[in-house]
Amino acid sequence: MQPSDMSAVDLVNAVRQGDLTALRATEAFLERIERLDGQINAFLAVDREGALRTAAAIDDKRKSGKPLGPLAGLPVAVKDALCTSDLPTTCASKMLAGFRPPYDAEVVARLRAADAVIVGKTNMDEFAMGGSNENSAFGPVHKPWALTRAPGGSSGGSAACVAADMAPVAIGSDTGGSIRQPAGLCGITGLKPTYGRVSRRGLVAFASSLDQIGPMARSAADCALLLETIAGHDPGDATSLDLPVPAYGTDLERPLEGVRIGRVPAHFGAGLDPEVAHAVEEAFAAFRAAGATVIDIDMPHADAGVATYYLVAPCEASSNLARYDGAHYGHRAEPGKGHRAEPGRLQPAQPVSGHRAEPGSGQGNASGGFESALVEMYCRSRAEGFGPEVKRRIMLGTYALSAGYYDAYYAKALKVRRLIRQDYLDAFEKVDLIGGPVSATAAFKLGEKSGDPLAMYLVDLYTVCTNLAGVGGISFPCGFTKGGLPIGFQLQAPALAEPLLLRATDRYQHLTDWHRRRPAIAARPR
Ligand code: GLN
């Protein structure tokens, strides 16, 4: 069997047993990246040399009898929102083009310590804002199942590279659906863990109360393998949970007898594509056949999810992205027309005065000139560095946080967020999991929604509440449209119930083979 056809679990076992070298596994995936990524654009950086060097070192380690890490020899692709000290980290933004972080994100450090092989950084929507991957400053990702269509986003590169077998597993991040939605649209399995389960240190912040890193793979079993390495407390992230990490891979085969899955009838309302509705209902039937019971439940505030998310997330983003001003971080505009101070005065080491010059005071004039030039430099750097969607979010967030609007928008959104969270607490009194669609349609064409932000935001209907409530969710393929595009199913669980999410998905994947289908582009050349 070719390494690129093996599950991550089998691949790691084969390396451990000496049936496959880490070098051969890595070469197999690098070869596929070289052959396929010109059409897909899933990678923003490929670390051929570094990956081969790491793989060779792992093989040497094995030969010398040293203990191997739990992911030894496993190629992993990492979303370009996570800092890597040896590769650029751009967040798919011109603002960070060429930025080389001084340290590895905690998740990246854990992957390296587990002897995984990082093959590259994946494309995404700029600063993770988007659901189609069209907001990347470095061109969209093409969905491996139909190259004219969007792979979903914002972790579109991570989803597409796993779907096209360019990596067995990938790391994504999910603020309002960015792991689950592209996983669903690309026919792979993606898990958004409970808020705090995985350290966010070194994840470029979008909306800090919602962001969470998680695994993307071809199956629940492979997600479990990856989650076990990346989960756990990190003193460097104050929001990471100081709780033991379960052995996620060990309990997957326990039958689902007694497990209650909630079905929300309102999920099947207007806007849900009938083919998606049909596949989702079939998945509920499969869960019943696997021993679970399906119970209709109500989530009374779910319809306020998108409106709430599109206040909370932009408000946090407007604050998080304030640091990119060309001085502290990010792209700096070249001094050009309209600059009143000489460029030498605009070095970051110069003290920045908050003082506003009084008209007429000599001292103030000098300071005022400097200040206005500085502000102009900030403005131009941000105007040049950020793309249109990021600017839209910053403006939305700044407006909603401004005096006079704060109570009407941001404070109100926080109240509704509490109600949404309470819906989950109430639902989980009655059921163990909540099932349903991930996206209302199986796929949209590149360009189809990019001119209509509101239509794009509505794509997040089924995924944002999970983040607002801070609970976990997983998505996986549950069928295909007549046109051959994957359809996703989502399960959500109470906080820290990842073992149940993974087990239920694994049991479903035991009964069905949707997750085994590969796009034609992934077929091996003859
Ligand atoms: N599509 C959502 C947005 O645009 C979610 C993004 C995410 O989860 N990073 O904000």
Is the per-residue pLDDT at 367 higher than 80?
no
DSSP, collapsed to helix, strand or coil, labels residue 190 as strand
Cβ–ligand 1 distance for 232 under 6 Å, the answer no
247-256 pLDDT per residue, tens? 999 999 999 9
Q: What integer pLDDT is reported at residue 355 of this predicted model?
A: 37
Strands 260-263 and 293-296: parallel
d(CA 62, CA 18) in angstroms, rounded, equals 8
CA distance 486 to 177: 17
Burial class (CB in 10 A: 0-12, 13-18, 19+), 212: buried
Kindly report, residue by residue over 59-100, the tens digit of the pLDDT. Answer: 999 999 999 999 999 999 999 999 999 999 999 999 999 999
**Peptide bond preceding 319 in cis form (omega within 30 of 0):** no
Average pLDDT taken over every residue of the chain: 94
CB 190 within 8 A of CB 179: yes
- Is residue 387 within 6 Å of ligand 1 at its C-beta? no
359 to 339, 364, 365, 374, 375: CA distances (angstroms): 19, 7, 7, 18, 18
The amino acid sitting at 211 is D
Specify the pairing of strand 433-437 against strand 260-263.
Answer: parallel
Minimum-distance ligand 1 atom for the alpha carbon of 178: 8
Closest C-alpha to 517, from 475, 486, 483:
486
Strand order in the sheet with 433-437: 43-46, 117-122, 75-79, 169-174, 212-217, 189-192, 472-480, 486-493, 433-437, 260-263, 293-296
456 C-alpha to ligand 1 centroid (Å): 10
pLDDT at position 523 is: 85
**Which whole number is the average pLDDT over 352-365?**
41
CATH for 3-252+498-512 (3.40.30.10, 3.20.20.105, 1.10.3720.10, 3.90.1300.10): 3.90.1300.10
Q: Is 93 in the pocket of ligand 1 (CB under 6 A)?
A: no
| Residue 456 in contact with ligand 1 by CB distance below 6 A | no
Q: Between the CA atoms of 284, 290, 292 and 298, what dihedral angle is there, to the nearest 10 degrees? A: -10
178 Cβ below 6 A of ligand 1: yes
As a dihedral over the C-alpha atoms of residue 159, residue 163, residue 169, residue 171, rounded to 10 degrees, the angle is: 0
- Tens of pLDDT along 122-164? 999 999 999 999 999 999 999 999 999 999 999 999 999 999 9
Residue 386's nearest CA partner among 455, 331, 451 is 331
DSSP string computed for 17-74: HTSS-HHHHHHHHHHHHHHHHHHH--EEEE-HHHHHHHHHHHHHHHHTTPPPPTTTT-
Residue nearest to atom 5 of ligand 1 (CA): 176
Q: Does residue 154 have its Cβ closer than 6 Å to ligand 1?
A: yes
Residue type, 74: L
- Whether residue 351 contacts residue 323, with contact meaning beta carbons closer than 8 Å, is answered with no
Query: For 169-188, how does the pLDDT look when each residue is reduced to its tens digit (9 = 90+)?
Result: 999 999 999 999 999 999 99
Q: Nearest residue CA, atom 10 of ligand 1?
A: 129
Evaluate if residue 435 carries a pLDDT over 80: yes
CA distance 518 to 456: 27
Query: Best mutation site among 82, 122, 129 for ligand 1, i.e. most ligand atoms within 8 A of its Cβ?
Result: 129
The residue written with tokens 């691949």 in the block is 11
Report how far ligand 1's centroid is from the alpha carbon of 439 (Å).
Answer: 13
DSSP 8-state class, residue 4: G
Give the residue from 83, 90, 155 showing the smallest Cα distance to 386: 90
At 504-525, the pLDDT tens digits run 999 999 999 999 999 999 887 6
In DSSP terms, which residues pair with 172 in a beta bridge?
A: 214
Query: What is the model's pLDDT at position 207?
Result: 98
Atom of ligand 1 nearest to the CA of 179: 8
- List, by residue number, the catalytic residues: 79, 154, 178
pLDDT of residue 101: 97
Which residue in the block uniquely carries the two structure tokens 């959104």?
413
For ligand 1, pick from 82, 126, 175, 438 the residue to mutate: most ligand atoms within 8 Å of CB. Answer: 175
How many Cβ atoms are within 10 Å of 180's Cβ, its own excluded? 34
Query: For a substitution probing ligand 1, which of 79, 122, 125 has the most ligand atoms within 8 Å of its CB?
Result: 125
Inter-axis angle of helices 220-230 and 106-113, to 10 degrees? 100
- Region 453-470: what's the mean pLDDT? 96
Atom of ligand 1 nearest to the CA of 309: 10
DSSP per-residue codes, 316-351: HHHHHGGGBSSSSBS--PPP-TT--S-GGGG-TTS-
Q: What is the pLDDT of residue 198?
A: 98
